[in-house]
Amino acid sequence: MARSATELDPRDVLETPPARRRIRTPMSIGLNLTSMIDVVFLLLVYFMVATDFRKAEEVYTLDLPERAEGMSVDPFELDDEPLLVLVRTSGSGGDSYRLGLDGPWDPVQDFQSLYEFLRSRQVDGMGGGLFGTDHPIVIIPDATVHWEYTIDAFNAAVRAGYVNVTLKEISS
């Protein structure tokens, strides 16, 4: 019996094994600890040689103010350095004036703004303000300023509620 080419006998077919795939085993990543330990010891030796083992701080003598026995200091006590109000002339003959405050204060233009400045900086009962009512305020007039401008500055301070307002002697 003759067979066609399309008909194959199962015995005639060679069985080929399936293609084998290579299974890769994952590589383990590791550190070479020997070289790391060598580097650590080299760094340790370097820092031991390069470090200065002296005392970093010296003992400093301080000139502290003497305190009376039993006297306590309030850390919130306000400074009693006087507030200086400068009354200067800004024209010939002393007909016009210019007010100034000694220190880091904003400039005042007239006696009303001086009053508002002093009133706003006065200590209130709720912890606000900088100056107590007994804080010293010294008015320093220029030698050529009219006396009325000096008195107006004095009155602005008194009207603001301050009780320790003085005039500085005019030096020529």
Q: For residue 120, give the CATH number of its domain.
A: 3.30.420.270
CA atoms within 13 A on the CB side of 77: 7
The predicted structure's pLDDT at residue 96: 83
Q: Is 60 exceeded by the pLDDT of residue 78?
A: no
Based on the structure, what is the number of domains in the chain?
Answer: 1
pTM flag (> 0.85): no
More confident residue, 130 or 172: 130
Q: How many residues does the chain have?
A: 172
Q: Is residue 14 part of a domain?
A: no
User: Residue 99: beta bridge partners?
Assistant: 87
H or E element: which one contains 45? Answer: helix 33-50
Rounded CA-CA distance 139/160 in Å is: 14
Distance, CA of 147 to CA of 167 (rounded, Å): 11
Asked if pLDDT for residue 15 goes beyond 70, the answer is no
Q: Is 20 inside a domain boundary?
A: no
N- to C-terminal Cα separation, the chain: 150
114 vs 85: CA distance, rounded Å: 9
Residue 110 lies in a domain: yes
In a domain, 24, yes or no: no
Residue 104 domain boundaries: 83-167
CA–CA distance, 151 with 139 (Å, rounded to integer): 9
What's the pLDDT at 12?
60
pLDDT band of 172, cuts 50, 70, 90: low
For residue range 16-35, what is the model confidence (pLDDT) as tens digits?
A: 666 667 777 777 777 788 98
Please count the other Cβ atoms lying within 10 Å of the Cβ belonging to residue 85. Answer: 26
Residues 6 or more apart whose Cβ sits within 8 Å of residue 154: 139, 165, 167
Residue 5 has pLDDT above 60, yes or no: no
The average confidence (pLDDT) of the chain is: 79
Q: Is residue 3 part of a domain?
A: no
C-alpha dist (Å) from residue 63 to 6, 52, 69, 79, 98 = 118, 30, 18, 21, 42
107-161 residue pLDDT tens: 898 999 999 999 888 887 665 677 888 889 999 988 888 889 989 999 999 999 8
Asked if residue 163 belongs to a domain, the reply is: yes
